[in-house]
């Protein structure tokens, strides 16, 4: 079906969704799929709304060459699991654009995509940064479109939108050690806490625990920073140019200072004792924890046999192909799934919107540390005692929370102070 906004859709768009507790299509199908074609470049963009809770869904917008509807649908399903697992009063969605974010035309493509998706962004879809789309860029686009900030669909429901916007802006821009902002590091902090939760589950000493990090952008860089701060040795990091490895641990703060805007490290200033290895060598690094923090589908049936880590913590969305995850489990290597390990940014954003945390980073770090480690502890307890894969336990937790929300019978829209 086509409409004047340039969408094609597999769901009817006869009007705004009804504001019930939760809406989703039958048999696990997403509520809505939209395909958009950019009238200038011909690029395709996608929106998948997997579930709506009180008429709202949340999920970032990514941009990468080769992005597909299937990928966006996987990510939207993961967002729905994230919101349920962390008991957030919102459904799951995702946006994706098949375009190179380094292309000079990328900003224009993103702006036209957001303009086309405006009916959803205005009232139902709360989006944020994702792969290839930094938060400051999507906020600039929203500002030009007159929507203020990418959390607009939630903020506009507040009794006092201007006050809510000030709270959100203050939280996102709160300074943290290292010269960065809370909104830029909170997702990586959550991944670091997932890694620490795994180490604690097995009783590992932090100063003897090693991590290999695939991806050193916003999520991977933040995780590496906080793991380094906790005393864990990050022995390998990979970016588009290759893998950097040192068995005694890398100087993470120094490497982060050498990144460009695309998360790539300037090799000319890396110490000579750091080994330069091929990009995919990070997968086979001899480390306790492997953190895929770059692209989806990084761990495949073709490379899973190379994994030497004792546990995988998914910082990237859909980082492990299901067949590879099953084989890893048979080898005794559990995977902490993305909808828990990298849910910190989404959970924190809603705590901020709901006024449960504010501009003090210490409050945000404490809450996220407590909630992330408790969930990882639950997943690994089931794995260690009964051999239940973490994803199975996590999905059970998400389903239980979702059913509790439905059973509560609340039909009133979410209240944002």
* Catalytic site includes residue 310: no
| H or E element in which residue 79 lies | helix 69-85
Residue 298 CA to residue 71 CA, distance in Å, equals 13
Q: Which residues pair with 397 in a beta bridge?
A: none
Cα 51 to Cα 40, 267, 413: the distances in Å are 31, 44, 15
Beta strands in 183-319 (DSSP E): 210-214, 233-239, 242-245, 275-277, 289-292, 311-313
Q: From 55, 6, 14, select the one nearest 412 (Cα to Cα).
A: 55
Angle formed at CA 10 by CA 8 and CA 16, multiple of 5 degrees = 85
Nearest to 189 by CA among 215, 214, 221, 212: 221
How distant, in Å, are the alpha carbons of 54, 94, 276, 375 from that of 91? 8, 11, 43, 20
Distance from C-alpha of 338 to C-alpha of 262, rounded to nearest angstrom: 22
Strands 52-53 and 44-49: unpaired
Question: Which residue in the list 94, 102, 308, 310 is annotated as catalytic?
Answer: 94
- Structure tokens belonging to residue 97: 């654009």
For residue 20, what are the β-bridge partners?
A: none
Residue 16 DSSP label: P
Catalytic residues: 94
């Amino acid at each position: 079906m086509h409409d004047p906004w340039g969408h094609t859709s597999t769901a009817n768009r006869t009007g705004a969704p009804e504001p019930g507790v939760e809406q989703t299509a039958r048999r696990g199908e997403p509520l809505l799929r939209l395909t958009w074609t950019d009238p200038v470049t011909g690029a395709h963009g996608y929106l998948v709304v997997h579930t709506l809770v009180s008429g709202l869904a949340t999920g970032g917008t990514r941009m990468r060459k080769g992005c597909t509807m299937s990928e966006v649908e996987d990510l939207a399903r993961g967002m729905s699991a994230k919101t349920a697992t962390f008991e957030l009063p919102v459904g799951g969605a995702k946006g994706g654009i098949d375009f190179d974010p380094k292309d000079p035309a990328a900003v224009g493509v993103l702006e036209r995509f957001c303009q086309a998706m405006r009916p959803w962004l205005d009232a139902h879809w709360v989006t944020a940064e994702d792969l290839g789309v930094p938060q400051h860029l999507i906020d600039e686009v929203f500002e030009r479109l007159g929507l203020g900030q990418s959390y607009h669909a939630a903020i506009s429901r507040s009794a006092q939108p201007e006050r809510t916007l000030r709270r959100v802006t203050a939280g996102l821009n709160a300074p943290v050690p290292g010269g960065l902002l809370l909104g830029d590091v909170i997702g990586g902090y959550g991944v670091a806490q997932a890694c620490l939760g795994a180490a604690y589950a097995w009783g590992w000493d932090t100063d003897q625990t090693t991590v290999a990090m695939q991806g050193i952008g916003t999520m991977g860089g933040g995780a590496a920073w906080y793991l380094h701060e906790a005393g864990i040795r990050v022995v390998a990091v990979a970016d588009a140019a290759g893998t950097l490895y040192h068995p005694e641990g890398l100087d993470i703060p120094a490497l982060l200072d050498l990144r460009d805007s695309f998360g790539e490290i300037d090799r000319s200033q890396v110490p000579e004792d750091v080994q330069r290895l091929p990009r995919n060598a990070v997968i086979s690094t001899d480390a306790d924890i492997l953190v895929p923090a770059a692209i989806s589908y990084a761990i495949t049936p073709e490379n899973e046999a190379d994994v030497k880590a004792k546990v995988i913590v998914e910082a990237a969305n859909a980082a492990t192909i299901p067949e590879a995850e099953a084989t890893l489990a048979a080898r005794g290597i559990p995977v902490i799934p993305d909808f828990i390990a990298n849910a910190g940014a989404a959970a924190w954003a809603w705590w901020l919107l709901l006024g449960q945390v504010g501009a003090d980073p210490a409050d945000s770090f404490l809450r996220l540390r407590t909630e992330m480690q408790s969930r990882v502890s639950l997943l690994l307890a089931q794995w260690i005692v009964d051999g239940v894969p973490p994803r199975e336990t996590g999905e059970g937790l998400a389903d239980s929370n979702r059913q509790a929300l439905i059973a509560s019978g609340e039909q009133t829209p979410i209240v944002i102070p």
